Structure 1
Amino acid sequence: MSAFFTQKQSELVPAPHARGPWSPDMLHGRLLGGLAARAIERRYAQPGLHLARLTVDLFRSSPMVPVTVETSLIRSGRRILVADAIISTDQGPIGRAGAVLLRQGEQPDGAQTFVTPAWDSPPPDGPPPVDGPTTWTPPFDLWRVTEWGKPGSGRAWLRESYQLVDDEPLTPLVRAALAADFASPLSNVSTGGRLGFINADYTLTLARLPAGELIGVETTGHLSADGVATGQVTMHDTAGPFGFCVVTAVANPLGFGGR
């Protein structure tokens, strides 16, 4: 299957399946986080330096046009590296990301007073279910562990089914960055299945990188007031939890997909 983007000189040209759920001519915001993670990892990754935080600002909707990603080094110290990425089209910037990479070292002695437990949702053992006719089909494999739009914590397993750029293998970091955007619909869905808020950003924090292709997302919080919301999820793989994602979101009038 073709990738979401094809590299043509400095531009990344989106394929038709790179569109989002809001409009057939709107690029999916989750891909901006994946492109930012890819660019920062390719430019600044080094042995022993772990990308521990990625904040992706989704401040402008983009049509399905070529994009560019430019990175800049903010700080390179002995134990920390901070870098930014700007995602743009010929109409200007459409998103940005900030990353913190931390130097790995010896684990401190002593047990923590609280550690997030592993969830009790086994990984799927078959192909994802096929939903009925919809206006938009997710371009990734999705297994809903809990029923969509029902009260309580939501859970889902995800697996990417397309490469991000050309035939490049997806790295664990890029997989995590793509899956993290699902924190918004999972934490912000209303009873009945309507998405009452659309996210303006997300922040992914990683104690370690995910292992394997499957990533689980579990709602662990939602708060909202006066049309502004924040939600959080725990990120899992088949070995256990590996990180968190927090989103901020704004009230989503029916049928509106812009920011």
Structure 2
Amino acid sequence: MPPRSEEHARSWLGSGFGYGKALDWRFVTGGPMELGPATVWGRLTIPLVEGEEMTPLERLAVFADSGNGVSFALDFATHVFVNVDLTISLFRAPEGEWTCMDAETVIGPSGRGLTRSTLYDETGQVGTATQTLFVAPR
């Protein structure tokens, strides 16, 4: 996996935000403070339920919910964008701890957006995720 960058510690991922700190993030392209598409590897560092072993599918589902957060198209300081839903479509079962996401967010008219992510495990592509977004100025 790529090394963690210093930029990571200063971003929303490394701040006090629980979800951001619950994953180990490794950016290949883009970055946690950069507008635009991003490719990032990640893995959970804490269990979803204390004392329970997580499956690769559960790990992927948790990570897939961050497509909009890693490929944001508008500045967090000036806009809010909330995931209205998350759809994950897989053509094979994921394997292992690490998931990769190649994500891009587009903003349309009337306060709507869409994030599309291609999902991978360490052996290759496993499927896609989409997130519909509500977008508004802060």
Q: TM-score, normalised by structure 2?
A: 0.78
Root-mean-square deviation over aligned CA pairs: 2.4
**CA-to-aligned-CA distance 1:15-60 (integer Å, 9 cap, x gap):** xxxxxxxxxxxxxxxxxxxxxxxxxxxxxxxxxxxxxxxxxxxxxx
Q: What is the rounded CA distance, in whole Å, between the counterparts of 1:221 and 1:134 in structure 2? A: 22
Range with bigger deviation, 220-229 or 236-245: 220-229
Flag the structure with larger Rg: 1
Q: What is the rounded CA distance, in whole Å, between the counterparts of 2:22 and 2:136 in structure 1? A: 22
**CA-to-aligned-CA distance 1:128-179 (integer Å, 9 cap, x gap):** 4460373425211111222335454211111101111121110011111101
Pairs aligned (count): 129
Matching residue within 147, 158, 178 for 2:62: 178
Question: Are 2:109 and 1:225 equivalent residues in the alignment?
Answer: yes
Question: Are 2:95 and 1:214 equivalent residues in the alignment?
Answer: no
CA drift of 1:210 comes to 1.6
Q: TM-score, normalised by structure 1?
A: 0.44
Q: What is the rounded CA distance, in whole Å, between the counterparts of 2:73 and 2:59 in structure 1? A: 23
Taking a change above 3 Å as real, the CA distance of residues 239 and 193 of structure 1, as seen in their structure-2 partners, is: farther
Q: Which has the higher contact order (CA 8 A, sep 6+)?
A: 2
CA contact (8 A) 2:118 2:129 kept: yes
CA drift of 1:196 comes to 4.2
Q: Secondary structure at the match of 2:108?
A: strand
Q: Which runs of 4+ in 1 moved over 6 A?
A: none
> Tell me, which stretches of 5 or more residues in structure 2 are unaligned?
none
> Tell me, which stretches of 5 or more residues in structure 1 are unaligned?
1-122, 255-259
Alignment of 1:140-151 (within 5 A): 140-145=23-28, 146-150=30-34
CA contact (8 A) 2:82 2:133 kept: yes
Taking a change above 3 Å as real, the CA distance of residues 228 and 208 of structure 1, as seen in their structure-2 partners, is: same
